[in-house]
């Protein structure tokens, strides 16, 4: 039986046997360089016969030593079509060491009387030149042979490491789809420099001018960690130049191996709207959720499902999903079971307003932590349906909160919204009522009730983004309510990470407000989505302003004037000082509210809303109870 070392040697031998053309080429170059060295030594004249005889006699030793050193430095292993600095370095080292060994061997044998001393350096230089030149010529030929025609003329933004890698990778691609022409970089020290044979021709602000002068077809953003403001600025330059643009994958995707530097992608919406990456205290979050039984209501919704995905990675003792939509419940449960087969998962179909059903789930699984994400959130849809909105968003919250108290739950986290601040919609008013309710429950219970408030999330159900994308796909128009309407945006993943962070650092009664960055104009959002589809706003796709819908505000707020904001341990989470309330009055009001809902007493529901949320302002309140009726109702 062969030993592992014998097998390894045999495999090595087989490999080099397959590389015989390379070895033969390199050996031939040793011979050619050897005689050229003599020829140069004698001033390109005839080599005297005694020296020629000595050169021929010594040649086998020279070839043997050079080839042995070449194998030692793995020179034949290099792929010629990808010849680069490491291959050139190996060739140079191999030749220098081989020349030194040859010179020492001849010195020991003949005191160098057989070979002129200048032959050795000449041979080294000539051999290095031949070996490298032939490889580079092969690489150039192979690259050009693969072109089906000239690729798109590309302007690379960023002359750093990523830009260098991108240009190198594009040059090695086959067929060549992109032809890098030049770099732009805001670093003044790089202007005029050449990287991978391309010149840095100026700063990013020169993009419109450079794109026109160099006939650029495509701009590639080779800055994986570019700040959002810089991304917006560069995109604006691209739009001014009317040239398409693409960007690199994110740094983490490249490091994880899930993407390569040349895997170009369109600029995504979160590239333009995002902020600095969320920094999490993983140790703190793990201490609060690892090994806990975690229940998530509304588990099949946008926020609920993402919470499921992130909580499950923290190895909870059990994950309990409560969802009233059977398909959404099946989808998220199936996803988690496939990706985390070892997790203890309980998926229960149920309505948060069904108190016996909720009690059954809590008594069976005894959750330690509850994330209450179940809610109706679509503002226009709820404007004519006050009873349904209050029942789900307020009474449903009360049911889950009361049952949490009865089963010794440790923490209850209410997912709230910026629409709860100075609400003008039924949806916002019901979420404000839910905030008041959990604050009142916190004063009467050992459970730590925590509220987390934030703005819109990109891509959520009911978000404007899917609506705009559908309208663009249909050829337009894209409908925006008002030219100046603004909203706060963050990604779902970002929001859920900060929700978990707030959960574990909360002690009870807190209202945490997530840092949403700067508000974004919805009209800007619409224009960017049109441009990302390769179209021009106003020319290819019209934007139509329809006017604010009932219950909508021009500008959303994240905190009330009476709520003093305080810093927390996390830079992206603030604490809104809770407003004073009478917990007994709130609990009694919710009991009465439940009774009014059961009796479909719309007037009674309105009255309680005015008492609990005096800042709620709305012109018309419509309840469809068989026949629509309009109720005037002021502050």
Q: Is the pLDDT of residue 401 over 80?
A: yes
Q: pLDDT tens digits for 196-230?
A: 767 888 898 999 999 988 888 888 888 766 677 78
Q: What average pLDDT does range 502-512 have in this prediction?
A: 83
**Of 464, 441, 463, 466, nearest to 451 (Cα)?**
441
Element counts in the chain: helices (H) and strands (E):
23, 23
Residue 124 near residue 99, CB atoms below 8 Å: yes
Walk me through the domains of the chain, giving residue ranges and CATH numbers: 4-144 (no CATH), 152-267 (3.40.50.720), 282-620 (3.40.50.720)
For residue 531, name the pLDDT band (cuts at 50, 70, 90): confident
Distance CA 336, CA 374 (A): 19
* 624 Cβ contact list (under 8 Å, min separation 6): 384, 385
pLDDT of residue 249: 61
Measured in degrees and rounded to the nearest 5, phi and psi for residue 435 equal -60, -45
Q: pLDDT tens digits for 343-378?
A: 999 999 999 999 999 999 999 999 999 999 999 988
Residue 182 near residue 159, CB atoms below 8 Å: no
pTM for this model (two decimals): 0.62
pLDDT of residue 256: 47
pLDDT of residue 621: 40
**Least confident among 137-146, 241-250, 436-445:** 137-146
* 445 Cβ contact list (under 8 Å, min separation 6): 405
pLDDT of residue 263: 54
pLDDT of residue 622: 38
Question: Which tokens hold the place of 448?
Answer: 């730590």
H or E stretch covering 511: strand 511-514
**Of 288, 246, 278, 250, nearest to 265 (Cα)?**
246
Q: pLDDT tens digits for 321-333?
A: 999 999 999 999 9
Q: pLDDT tens digits for 66-116?
A: 988 888 888 887 767 667 777 888 899 999 999 999 888 888 877 766 678
For residue 53, name the pLDDT band (cuts at 50, 70, 90): confident
Could you count the other beta carbons within 10 Å of the beta carbon of residue 549?
12
Q: pLDDT tens digits for 253-299?
A: 444 444 454 555 556 666 556 555 556 667 778 888 899 999 999 99
Distance CA 150, CA 128 (A): 33
Q: Is the pLDDT of residue 627 over 50?
A: no
**Least confident among 300-304, 467-471, 474-478, 546-550:** 546-550
Average pLDDT score over the chain: 80
Q: What percent of the chain has pLDDT over 90?
A: 20
């Amino acid at each position: 039986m062969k030993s592992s070392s014998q097998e390894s040697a045999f495999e090595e031998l087989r490999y080099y046997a397959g590389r015989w053309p390379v070895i033969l080429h390199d050996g031939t170059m040793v011979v050619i360089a050897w005689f050229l060295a003599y020829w140069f030594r004698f001033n390109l004249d005839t080599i005297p016969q005694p020296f020629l005889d000595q050169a021929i006699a010594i040649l086998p030793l020279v070839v043997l030593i050079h080839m042995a050193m070449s194998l030692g430095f793995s020179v034949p292993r290099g792929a010629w079509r990808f010849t680069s600095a490491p291959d050139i370095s190996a060739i140079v080292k191999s030749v220098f060491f081989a020349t030194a060994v040859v010179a020492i061997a001849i010195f020991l044998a003949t005191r160098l009387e057989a070979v002129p001393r200048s032959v050795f350096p000449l041979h080294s230089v000539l051999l290095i030149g031949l070996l490298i030149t032939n490889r580079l010529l092969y690489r150039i030929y192979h690259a050009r042979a693969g072109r089906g025609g000239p690729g798109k003329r590309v302007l690379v933004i960023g002359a750093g490491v990523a830009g260098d890698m991108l240009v190198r990778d594009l040059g090695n691609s086959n067929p060549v789809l992109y032809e890098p022409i030049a770099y732009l970089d805001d670093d003044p020290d790089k202007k005029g420099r050449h990287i991978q044979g391309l010149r840095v021709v100026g700063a990013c602000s020169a993009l419109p001018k450079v794109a026109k002068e160099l006939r650029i077809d495509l701009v590639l953003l080779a800055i994986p960690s570019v700040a959002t403001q810089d991304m917006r600025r560069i995109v604006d330059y691209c739009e001014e130049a009317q040239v398409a643009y693409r960007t690199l994958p994110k740094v983490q995707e490249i490091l994880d191996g899930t993407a390569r530097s040349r895997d170009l992608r369109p600029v995504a919406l979160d590239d333009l709207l995002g902020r600095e990456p969320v920094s999490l205290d993983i140790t703190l979050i793990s201490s609060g959720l690892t090994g806990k039984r975690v229940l998530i209501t509304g588990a099949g919704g946008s926020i609920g499902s993402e919470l499921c995905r992130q909580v499950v990675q923290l190895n909870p003792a059990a994950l309990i999903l409560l969802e009233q939509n059977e398909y959404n419940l099946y989808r998220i449960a199936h996803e988690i079971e496939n990706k985390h087969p070892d997790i203890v998962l309980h998926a229960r179909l149920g309505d948060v307003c069904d108190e016996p059903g909720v009690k059954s789930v809590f008594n069976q699984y005894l959750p330690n932590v509850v994330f209450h994400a179940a809610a109706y959130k679509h503002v226009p849809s709820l404007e004519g349906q006050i009873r349904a909105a209050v029942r789900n968003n307020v009474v449903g919250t009360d049911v889950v909160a009361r049952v949490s108290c009865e089963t010794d739950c440790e923490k209850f986290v209410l997912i709230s919204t910026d629409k709860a601040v100075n609400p003008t919609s039924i949806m916002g008013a019901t979420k404000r009522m839910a905030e008041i309710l959990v604050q009142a429950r916190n004063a009467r219970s050992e459970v730590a009730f925590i509220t987390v408030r934030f703005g819109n999330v990109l891509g959520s159900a009911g978000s404007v983004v899917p609506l705009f994308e559908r309208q663009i796909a249909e050829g337009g128009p894209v409908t925006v309510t008002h030219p100046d309407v603004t909203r706060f945006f963050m990604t779902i993943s970002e929001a859920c990470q900060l929700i978990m962070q707030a959960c574990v650092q909360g002690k009870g009664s807190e209202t945490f407000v997530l840092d949403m960055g700067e508000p974004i104009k919805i009209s800007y959002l619409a224009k960017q989505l049109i441009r990302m589809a390769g179209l021009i706003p106003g020319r290819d796709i019209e934007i139509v302003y329809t006017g604010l819908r009932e219950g909508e505000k021009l500008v959303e707020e994240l905190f009330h004037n009476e709520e003093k904001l305080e810093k927390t341990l996390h830079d992206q989470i603030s604490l809104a000082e809770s407003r004073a309330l009478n917990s007994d009055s709130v609990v009694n009001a919710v009991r009465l509210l439940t009774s009014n809902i059961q009796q479909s007493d719309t007037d009674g529901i309105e009255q309680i809303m005015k008492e609990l949320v005096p800042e709620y302002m709305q012109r018309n309140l419509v309840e469809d109870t068989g026949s629509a009726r309009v109720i005037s109702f002021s502050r």
